[in-house]
Amino acid sequence: MASSLSPKNRRATTVQGGRAPPRLAVAHTNPAVIDVSAGNAMTARGAGEKQHKLTKLLMNVIIQNSLGPVHLVMSPENTVGELIKSAIEIYVKEKRRPLLTSSDPLCYELHYSQFSLESLKTQEKLVNLGCRSFFLCPKPSTSSCADKAKATPSSQLPLTKLMDFVL
């Protein structure tokens, strides 16, 4: 008798004799795979079917000692140098704290994270980076502490030389 019922009308029962909870419908999606090297979006079904070309990228730039990231929408064809310039302009325009010592983009370098020692090349295109979150920090000064000590004028008083030695 149970076999004569259609699968739609059949009801599952649990071991205790009660009804099983209804099954939830599962969404069947076809996720898009992005070909970053060419800047094209390809579908998972057919690699030859092109959808839309990336026109804008949402970038997040954390500036050193800042509380939150600066959000920018930029073209994939823009360069790292243009990203640095735009991030600094937005930071200054929004009057964020702490204030920047310089608003010149040449005084800053962009890294993948605050733990990355190597800075990104300013001519690199954004679409080739493979990341959308970055860390902006001032370029390290080229002079060392020894150079600064030599540049200070030496005094003629022996007592000040002794104090410099003690400190």
pLDDT in tens, the chain (167 residues): 555 555 555 555 555 666 666 655 544 444 444 444 444 544 444 555 566 777 899 999 999 999 999 999 999 999 999 999 999 999 999 999 999 999 999 999 999 999 999 999 999 999 999 999 999 999 998 765 555 556 555 555 566 666 666 66
Q: Could you give all domains of the chain from N- to C-terminal order, each with its CATH number?
A: 57-138 (3.10.20.90)
**Predicted pLDDT at 127:** 92
Residue 32, phi then psi, degrees to nearest 5 = -85, 140
The amino acid present at 8, given as its one-letter code, is K
> Would strands 57-63 and 133-138 be described as parallel, antiparallel, or unpaired?
parallel
CA distances from 20 to 10, 15, 72 (A): 12, 9, 50
**Predicted pLDDT at 36:** 46
CA distances from 7 to 2, 10, 27 (A): 10, 5, 21
**Predicted pLDDT at 87:** 98
Angle at 91 between CA 88 and CA 119, to 5 degrees: 40
